[in-house]
Amino acid sequence: QSRIVLVNRPKAAISPDISSGKGTFLLEKSAPVDKELGKGECLIRTEWVSLDPAMRGWLNATRSYIAPVEINAVMRAGGVGRLVALATDAETTALAQKKGLQVGDWVSTLTGWQEYAKVGLKEVQKIQVSDKISPSYYLGALGMPGQTAYWGLTDVCDIKSGETVVVTGAAGAVGSVACQIAKIKGCRVIAVAGGADKCRWLKEELGVDAALDYKSKDFKKEFRETVGYFDAMFDNVGGEILDFALTRMKKFARIALCGAISAYNDPAPRGLQAYLNLISQCAKIQGFIVFDYAKRYKEADAELASFVNSGQLKIREHRLTGIENCVEGLLGLFEGVNTGKIVVKIGSG
Ligand code: NDP
């Protein structure tokens, strides 16, 4: 099988070299498939894998919400695929029955960047695929990014109908879902994204009230004029955009710090200059990690699936094909190549 392993921790940006062993990652084309299943284990043939900005953080040997990926380990990644084998002990069989799982079913789990993944059945979720619902959607709107958008808005920002909500990184996986949930919940939504095409898509297809291009030289002026002052902000990018936004908060504004992609490749990111506004506006700024909502995923699953099935929530994907494109695709996230969720098809099913 083919798989991609971490070989060197990057100091700043990830290296695109996947063949010499001197880059960040190494593509191994004839790695063995471990088919020996211990108690509680199963084997999955991966069809789609996820690329996420958070992966950049998983490469650093620092304290975080999750342990770093170890050197020489397969790169951690969300994936969806088919269940191809199950351990035969009684406990595993009972768990499979409880989850309604059979060999051949579509499942979602942390497969890593590899064609075959041996994982604990406990960590595997059955997914419902249909004409309308591609398995890859479970890496985006119906998976972790969708959950992130949902909880960041409904819990951390606690949005209310009629409020003005700013979403940054708005044309990406999390941001595009956040914009649509905020619209569904009756908010006035201002999306911030890079480039005219993304802004057009957000406005014309996703129905946000306004979309602002942060790369435009008039961005700050447009933000002042369009937003006025906001009640809530769902921030995916951090840095200068967040700092400027701190000057445009209403009293008691809430800011959910979902991500800070502008800082991930920077070994010494610049601090916020405008944070004193938090005092004068009695505002709240709060980081959150989607995994802390795991016990409540089912609530969001039901709502997100109903939004997708009714057509209220539109999904766009940026699809790549071939495991060898994982690293280039991951680098592309930091250049903004994607509109919607970036996924890689690595299987042939
Ligand atoms: P996206 O699909 O949004 O892709 C990343 C996007 O970031 C790019 O398309 C690009 O869009 C934008 N971007 C890249 N560099 C910069 C920059 N310097 N300044 C501003 N924008 C930039 O990724 P996701 O939706 O998967 O993730 C979005 C954010 O959410 C990330 O920060 C991620 O780490 C975070 N996250 C947090 C979670 C949590 O639990 N807290 C869970 C999941 C994700 P553009 O062309 O607009 O610049």
In the chain, what are the domain boundaries?
Answer: 3-140+316-345, 144-291
Q: How far is the CA of 91 from the centre of ligand 1 (A)?
A: 40
172 Cα: distance to centroid of ligand 1 (angstroms): 6
Distance 337 CA to ligand 1 centre (A): 11
Closest-lying ligand 1 atom to the alpha carbon of residue 192? 47
- The tens-digit pLDDT sequence of the chain (349 residues) is 999 999 999 999 999 999 999 999 999 999 999 989 999 999 999 999 999 999 999 999 999 999 999 999 999 999 999 999 999 999 999 999 999 999 999 999 999 999 999 999 999 999 999 988 999 999 999 999 999 999 999 999 999 999 999 999 999 999 999 999 999 999 999 999 999 999 999 999 999 999 999 999 999 999 999 999 999 999 999 999 999 999 999 999 999 999 999 999 887 888 899 999 999 999 999 999 999 999 999 999 999 999 999 999 999 999 999 999 999 999 999 999 999 999 999 998 7
Q: Name the residue of 237, 293, 317 to mutate for ligand 1: max ligand atoms within 8 A of Cβ.
A: 237
Residues with CB under 6 A from ligand 1: 52-54, 145, 148, 169, 171-175, 193-195, 198, 236-237, 258-259, 261-262, 288-290, 333-334, 336, 338
Quote the pTM value: 0.97
Beta strand ranges found along the chain (DSSP E): 3-6, 25-28, 41-50, 78-86, 106-110, 116-120, 125-126, 164-168, 188-193, 210-213, 230-235, 249-257, 284-287, 317-321, 341-345
Contact (CB, 8 A) for 6 and 71: yes
Return the residue whose CA atom lies nearest to atom 2 of ligand 1.
172
CATH 3.40.50.2300 for domain 144-291, yes or no, is no
How far away, in angstroms, is 192 Cα from ligand 1 center?
11
The secondary structure element, H or E, covering residue 204 is helix 196-204
Where do we find the tokens 């119906």?
142
Among 17, 31, 128, 11, residue whose Cα is nearest residue 73: 31
What is the reported pLDDT for 36?
94
Separation of alpha carbons 91 and 305, rounded Å: 31
Atom 17 (ligand 1) nearest CA? 262
Fold type of domain 3-140+316-345:
Quinone Oxidoreductase; Chain A, domain 1 (3.90.180)
